[in-house]
Amino acid sequence: MNPTEIKSFTSLFKGRNDVFALHWEKGTKSGYMPAYQFDPYRYKVHKMKGGTLSNFPEKTYQHLTEEQIKRHLQGTDLIGLYPLLTDNTSWFIAADFDEENWTDDSRKFLALCQQKGIPAYLERSRSGNGAHVWVFFEQPYPAMKSRKILLSLLTDARIISTFDKNSSFDRLFPNQDTLSGKGLGNLIALPFHKPAMDNGNSCFLAPETMEAYPDQWQFLTTIQKAQGSTLDNLYEKLGYTALSITINPNQGLTIILNNVITIARNGLPVILINYLREELKFC
């Protein structure tokens, strides 16, 4: 890849650049962990005393550099990007689809986004058994607003419904409105990872045919970004005038504690129902 292609890639897939994650595999296990830099000699001494990397105090996050991006694109590393910035905004939002109906649901959602004036783009996931629908922003946009907009569109498209988890939709990236102060938020694997692309995955698809665009780098140059004013108009139409939640004290709230927690949803505000479903995994 040349410098122009690298620039096209990094102009779209932007998150925190003061930290990133690397994919690891060990036997049958795999996952992601933040990339650290540290003195290997001092870490060796720490390990000899029974310490681990997680409790090693002399480590700092590696910054995400152009060289790291190249290693990802070449297939040397697989990078996870943290989309939620420290001011609780993000440069994009992506909806993750998997399970049996991911093809139909992702196309349905993509069409509704475009109908609402939101440019959206379909990427087949690294496994080939799912997809991400990406929406890129002209400027960092509050995650609280973008998440509510997309959750509303997913509901309008009948891909999700209140307390119904029998759909191919899995989660949003970012998956939090705000950072808790205790972590970095969820991460998303960057696309265009060479080993996956060689198998026709981790690349963008034409929704009409579900075939990969023949020139992925050229396709990146055609991607449009959503305007903040368009997103604000959609958000205002949702009627979220405040984040406060009120429950009628005369109605009461029934909670049953057993081997599961059951909450009667009658009278619960929609915003609270969505929070229970998305953040606390009620079903």
pLDDT of residue 243: 40
Which structural domains are found in the chain, ordered by start? 3-80 (no CATH), 86-229 (3.90.920), 243-283 (no CATH)
Nearest to 106 by CA among 147, 135, 137, 143: 135
Is residue 244 predicted with pLDDT exceeding 60? no
Q: What is the pTM of this model?
A: 0.81
pLDDT in tens, 16-29: 999 999 999 988 89
- What average pLDDT score do residues 195-205 get? 96
238 pLDDT band (50/70/90 cuts)?
Answer: confident
Kindly report which listed range (189-193, 202-206, 264-268) carries the lowest average pLDDT score: 264-268
pLDDT in tens, 94-141: 999 998 889 999 999 999 999 999 999 999 999 999 999 999 999 999
What is the sign of the dihedral through the CA atoms of 208, 212, 215 and 219? Answer: positive
67 pLDDT band (50/70/90 cuts)?
Answer: very high
Residue with more model confidence, 263 or 137: 137
Taking the C-alpha atoms of residue 98 and residue 113, their distance in angstroms, rounded to an integer, is 19
Nearest to 12 by CA among 113, 108, 110, 120: 120
pLDDT of residue 176: 94
Residue with more model confidence, 270 or 39: 39
Please, what is the average pLDDT of the chain? 88
pLDDT of residue 182: 82
Is residue 7 predicted with pLDDT exceeding 70? yes
pLDDT of residue 203: 97
pLDDT of residue 161: 74
Taking the C-alpha atoms of residue 99 and residue 226, their distance in angstroms, rounded to an integer, is 28
